[in-house]
Structure 1
């Protein structure tokens, strides 16, 4: 086929010419091939993380338009600006770190499908999808699975996508997910920027009502600290029941062991932390023995005996910190930690008003 000016195409035998930065046709096509997206794992083999559009991207102004001007104006705005990438949100560094782990796993295990898989799970309308796709491509994210539910709650789809963790800006949807037995948390934007590792995914967990059940917190609230310490000493060798995030730590541990098997324990690109208000001498043993009984471990365990968690987290610089107490979330936010609230256990009735206020900020 000739061009619009009538110029004949380059004969097949001739070598195409390219920019000076590409010295040969082979180098040119190699550069294109290098941009090919990696093959996605089968869902049954993957660690699937569902993220909402409002945590992957910063859509606070868009959300305000939706609430004040309605869905039609919102959809029209997204279509008008669909070539303009959305700004990054609190889950973005976590997703980028996850993709780095996948890159290193593929290098060690080229045929393995035990990888992270990110799903965009949103109640946005399909008409907004083009802007979301363009934004994902702009940031070169490997996200191919989408669920856009057109204003309906996406929670019913989480199990169908075999979700291991759900991250959202909507606390009510997170509560729905946890009620369905799915690990979930409400994400918040940090109030200052920290430089996070680009080569190592770091995830920090609170203990009670996050990794473990809230049975010990119930004793504290009902009978006080002295009774709590007595209880933990008495039942030191009885494992705590599991909490809502235990299964996600289990998923992280499964991928960590793949690196350990290749002699990469010390420079593993996944690092986990237990950051708990428990005191080591009085109640720490039961927490560690519980993890051991589950066949799980954390890389670092920090027992703070009631001290603020923010300064410790500022040193750790996790991509994500999970806690069930809003005052710990807020303290972490103030010092730059990306935090996620787990609505579980006896304290949640008290936290609901605080949580709603935090969502508005």
Structure 2
């Protein structure tokens, strides 16, 4: 921009004073056009986190968001004081990604699309780092988030995880993890309720069972040797049916009376919806966001896709499962009835960011093939009662 000796204001080669303005209108002042030319093409203000009561809140522990296996060994072998000392001494060294890292990135890919379609809406995913670590460890966690933000090309103001953009976006989407809860060894359950948590992911089975007993959707995540590459632009979530989306009613029949009685029971009750399981509410929350995209004509380009991956047989027992979902007003994008076949190969094709199952056999089989699989310790299939004693608490 410059003002020459003839008192003409030029911006980007445009003379904004000739004939009153660049548009030729005598009723406008030159600086009005100058402001238009100089206006930035992309916003610089970072998105604000939504209010907890409006958001879909995902609480993740530090050990599932980041790889803290070495630190966990120090805690278990040398105790809390040495653990804290080590964390403080290494607080400038970032943790590597953990099993929930790609899932969290995918949540923000959805948020970026939602903000584009509904700029003022607070119906977004909100990630809370929920850890029973000591507050001294908080600095290393913040430094780690900033490291991954910068590594992925994020801005410099505020802790966030920055993600590759959806092809339809001009600016790079960023996930700001503004909310940390460091409880210093105390139970996080009260905080989970305060944040209206829709899903809690932790490496501690005891904490997960405690959350489930309080009616909070929760699952145990595990650090895996290999994890398949997953989509950066579409969140894919896969669910088992019985004791995950549905209650364990039918599974109890199978355990007590065998497969034939199970088929008879399902046939006789195919028009009676199953009761809800622990993760029904999370599927409901995903469906609510999906409808936001459908309302804008983006059903075929929706950045959320859901899957039912069940050991049920389609003809013998699949009808009741599908009718139950319909009675709840919930859609599932794809339903795979495997009739007892291993789930791992199908999940390898789907490549979900996260898969929920109540049986460790299926969780381990999926994990061996690179799927991030979570255990939902609920229902008759559990060898350890949900009322059993808790494991020793550890930083999560």
Q: TM-score range by the shorter chain?
A: 0.7 to 0.9
Tell me if the contact between 1:189 and 1:339 (Cα under 8 Å) persists in the aligned partners.
no
Match of 2:336 among 294, 302, 327: 302
Q: Which runs of 4+ in 1 moved over 3 A?
A: 29-34, 350-353
Q: How does 1:293-332 map to 2 (within 5 A)?
A: 293-332=327-366
| Aligned pair partner of 1:127 in 124, 133, 136 | 136
| 2:371 corresponding residue in structure 1 | 337
Distance in structure 2 (CA, Å) of the matches to 1:91 and 1:40: 20
Q: Secondary structure at the match of 1:77?
A: helix
Return the TM-score normalized by structure 1: 0.88
What residue in structure 2 maps to residue 252 of structure 1?
A: 286
After TM superposition, the structure 1 = structure 2 runs for residues 217-232 of structure 1, keeping only pairs within 5 Å, are 217-232=251-266
Deviation track 1:264-300 (CA, whole Å, cap 9, x = no partner) reads 1011000000000000000000000000000001100
1:83 equivalenced with 2:92 (yes/no): yes
Check if 1:51 corresponds to 2:60: yes
Secondary structure in 1 matching 2:221: strand
Q: Does 1:100 find its partner at 2:109? A: yes
1:351 CA drift (Å)? 9.1
2:222 maps to what in 1? 188
**How far is the alpha carbon of 1:155 from its aligned partner?**
1.8
Which of 200, 205, 211 pairs up with 1:171?
205
Return the alpha-carbon distance in structure 1 between the equivalents of residues 317 and 323 of structure 2: 11
> For structure 2, which runs of at least 5 residues remain unmatched after alignment?
1-38, 150-160, 162-175
CA displacement 1:63-117 (0-9 Å, x = unmatched): 1101111111111111111111111100000000001100000000000000000
Measure the CA separation in 2 of the matches of 1:150 and 1:32.
41
Q: Which residue of 2 aligns with 1:238?
A: 272
Q: Displacement of 1:156 after TM fit? A: 2.2
8 Å contact kept, 2:273–2:324 = yes
Aligned residues: 329
For residues 81 and 220 of structure 2, what CA distance do their matches in structure 1 show? 27
SS of structure 2 residue aligned to 1:346: coil
TM-fit CA distance, 1:193: 2.9
Counterparts of 2:62 and 2:372, CA distance in 1: 16
Gaps in structure 1 of 5+ consecutive residues: 1-28
> How many angstroms does 1:170 deviate by?
0.3
Alpha-carbon separation, structure 2, partners of 1:302 and 1:188: 24
Counterpart Cα distance in 1 of 2:70 and 2:355: 25
Alignment CA distance shift 1:350-1:162 (3 Å): closer
SS at match of 1:182: coil
Q: What is the match of residue 13 of structure 2?
A: none
Q: 1:116 aligns with which of 96, 109, 125?
A: 125
Q: Deviations over 1:38-77 (max 9, x none)?
A: 1111111100000000000010110110111111111111
Counterpart Cα distance in 2 of 1:304 and 1:191: 26
User: What's the TM-score, normalizing by structure 2?
Assistant: 0.80
Matched residues in 2 for 1:326 and 1:300: separation?
23
Cα separation, 2, equivalents of 1:164 and 1:257? 18
Larger Rg: 2
